[in-house]
């Protein structure tokens, strides 16, 4: 029964051949199929709300009833979906997904579930599966927050590691090191690593 129903749906009610080589078929279920001389096919649903264009190179473009446009690039095996609100989503064959928002923000989800966000103001945030978060400001300053509570701050002037117990170790760009322990002890070393203060 299913095959019979499908056959009747595929049954051509009307066929029009145009001088330019285009052929238009109207099927029993109301769909229209236009076949162009280059092999491109355009199928329009019976309610005219959905259009599918199949190109000779294997690419497929679908215009959905909700106005989404889905384009499949056959060579790259990549799908690009454009939403009416301006959101664009790219899906790659390695399962990487990129979202481009109308405000300029980009979100990339990598196959290992790492998520990278690029904001229009220049801020970059990366969320790793282990809970580590890396933020890079527009000026290049970087903050790394580890899942164990440690924090690292990198600037042009210094690199600082903050430990959960309150200990803070700073290495300045000239090589000088300063460690402040949670007990109140302070240790300073010069550029060569010589201890110059410990109290």
pLDDT digits (tens, 9 = 90+) for 48-85: 999 999 999 999 999 999 999 999 999 999 999 999 99
Other CB atoms within 10 A of residue 2 CB: 6
Average pLDDT over residues 7-29: 84
User: Any idea which residue has 């229209």 for tokens?
Assistant: 32
> At a CB cut-off of 8 Å and minimum separation 6, what does 83 contact?
67, 68, 89
pLDDT, residue 9, reads: 52
| Token digits of residue 24 | 């238009």
pLDDT digits (tens, 9 = 90+) for 106-128: 999 999 999 999 999 999 999 99
Average pLDDT over residues 4-24: 77
User: Any idea which residue has 């990278």 for tokens?
Assistant: 116
Domains in the chain, please, with CATH?
A: 9-91 (2.60.450.20)
Q: pTM of this prediction?
A: 0.77
Burial class (CB in 10 A: 0-12, 13-18, 19+), 114: middle
pLDDT, residue 73, reads: 97
- Answer yes or no: is pLDDT of 38 > 60: yes
């Amino acid at each position: 029964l299913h095959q019979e129903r499908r056959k009747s749906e595929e049954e051509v009610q009307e066929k029009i051949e145009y001088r330019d080589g285009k052929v238009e078929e109207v099927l029993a279920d109301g769909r229209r199929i236009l076949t162009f001389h280059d092999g491109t096919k355009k199928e329009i649903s019976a309610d005219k709300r959905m259009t599918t264009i199949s190109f000779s190179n294997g690419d497929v473009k679908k215009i959905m009833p909700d106005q989404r446009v889905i384009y499949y690039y056959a060579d790259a095996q990549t799908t690009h979906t454009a939403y009416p609100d301006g959101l664009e989503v790219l899906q790659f064959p390695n399962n990487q997904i990129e979202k481009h928002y109308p405000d300029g923000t980009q979100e990339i989800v990598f196959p290992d579930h790492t998520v990278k966000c690029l904001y229009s103001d220049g801020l970059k945030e990366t969320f790793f599966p282990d809970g580590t978060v890396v933020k890079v400001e527009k000026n290049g300053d970087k903050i790394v927050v580890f899942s164990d509570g440690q924090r690292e701050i990198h600037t042009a002037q210094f690199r600082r590691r903050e430990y959960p117990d309150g200990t803070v170790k700073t290495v300045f760009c000239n090589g000088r090191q300063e460690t402040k322990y949670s007990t109140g002890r302070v240790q300073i070393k010069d550029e060569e690593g010589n201890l110059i203060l410990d109290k």
